[in-house]
Amino acid sequence: MKIKIDKNLCIGCGSCVSVCEDCFELTDDNKACVKQDNQCNCDDECIKQVVDICPVNAIEVENNK
- Is the CB of residue 24 less than 8 Å from the CB of residue 35? yes
Nearer to ligand SF4, 11 or 43 (CB): 11
Nearer to ligand SF4, 10 or 39 (CB): 10
**If 0-12 CB within 10 Å is exposed, 13-18 middle and 19+ buried, where does residue 62 land?**
exposed
Element (DSSP H or E) covering residue 52: helix 44-53
Q: x-or-dash pattern for ligand SF4, window 2-41, by CB under 6 A?
A: ---x----xxxxxxx---------------x---------
> Closest separation between CB of residue 63 and ligand SF4, Å?
18
